């Protein structure tokens, strides 16, 4: 599997407004989109930082994956997302390489992209997202 550029970095936060202020006023980032996903139990803010993006993630439910992450580890780096041109093929190759897939099939992400996550156990301790842009 050939990974493309780093699509974005996900950061778990406890205070979305304060985190957005930090990225905009301190780092000069631009708020691109702010949305809530009831299905995922989270609020997300996409911040453009130069040629990259940071996805700020705040849980709306304690039992959501991001809520559990914050309870275990506190705020900080949540995942790294890589662009792929063909997510179906990337998942087949990941499976064949013995990587543990969290998502067996792609699903639709917050930007309308097709996404899938690989488990940190087989990714050097890093939750990894694959993103095929819409």
* pLDDT tens track, the chain, 134 positions: 788 999 999 999 999 999 999 999 999 999 999 999 999 999 999 999 988 999 999 999 999 999 999 999 999 999 999 999 999 999 999 999 999 999 999 999 988 899 999 999 999 999 999 999 98
Both tokens of residue 73? 């580890």
Gap between the Cα atoms of 125 and 121, Å rounded: 6
DSSP character for 58? Answer: E
List, in order of start, the domains of the chain with CATH numbers.
6-132 (3.10.180.10)
């Amino acid at each position: 599997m050939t990974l493309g550029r780093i699509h974005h970095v996900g950061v778990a936060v406890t205070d979305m407004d304060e985190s957005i202020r930090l990225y905009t006023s301190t780092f000069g980032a631009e708020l691109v989109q702010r949305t809530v996903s009831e299905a995922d139990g989270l609020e997300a803010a996409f911040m453009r930082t130069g040629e990259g993006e940071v996805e700020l993630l705040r849980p709306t439910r304690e039992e959501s994956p991001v809520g559990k992450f914050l309870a275990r580890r506190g705020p900080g780096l949540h995942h790294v997302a890589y662009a792929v041109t063909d997510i179906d093929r990337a998942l087949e190759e990941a499976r064949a390489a013995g990587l543990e897939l969290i998502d067996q099939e792609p699903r639709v992400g917050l930007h309308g992209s097709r996404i899938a996550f690989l488990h940190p156990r087989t990714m050097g301790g890093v939750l990894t997202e694959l993103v095929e842009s819409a």
